[in-house]
Chain A
């Protein structure tokens, strides 16, 4: 089944640095979503990017989508300790189920 795979599995940076996470998927999609999960909490939606879009911004977040490479990246600029969390991409499948499936996530630690 379609499932995004995040890379790297874990990322450790200093406050103020940028954090980049990647998501790769196998089949064509309609949408790709990024979510954040703080420890012990539910997932929180960050950004949805559609297959005909190449880039979206939301505050310090920038998401790009390259459908030719079947990949997306999430960039967090000027990271803060509060950005420490796991980040997941969720992809649907344009040729099959519209239900998004989640990858294993990238665990981000931002050191103050």
Chain B
């Protein structure tokens, strides 16, 4: 299995631009998580999907952030408009069943907003 796949691996954009991060979870996994990691705030959970349905989005910072999971094999995290404080590494993780099981992380997308 290829593991969790994220694209792009690196993204550099200018303030105000729309950014879309993509994730393909491991086949057969029911749960998907989006995290943001910064030196200041550590690893923060943004949103959690179970069976393609958003279960907990309380970590989404503000309305500029949105996430979708149109099917079991694909999810997107969109930031519109982007701001310099959104610069971080964004991780997607998937889990076989339920939030309390082992999570498998993707390699992350390093986002820089100028």
A100 touches B99 (CB 8 A): yes
A104 to B44, alpha carbons, bound, how many Å? Answer: 10
Q: Which residues of chain B from 50 to 91 have a CB within 8 Å of any chain A CB? A: 56, 91
- The total of chain B residues at the interface (CB under 8 A) is 20
Known: A42-B108, A97-B56, A102-B43. A92 touches B99 (CB 8 A): yes
Known: A42-B91, A42-B108. A103 touches B100 (CB 8 A): no
How many whole Å from A67's CB to the nearest CB in chain B? 16
- The total of chain A residues at the interface (CB under 8 A) is 20
Q: Main secondary structure on chain A at its contact with chain B?
A: loop
Known: A41-B107, A97-B56. A103 touches B42 (CB 8 A): yes
Chain A interface residues toward B at CB < 8 A: 30-31, 33, 41-45, 48, 88, 92, 97-105
Chain B interface residues toward A at CB < 8 A: 4, 33, 42-43, 45, 48, 56, 91, 93, 98-108
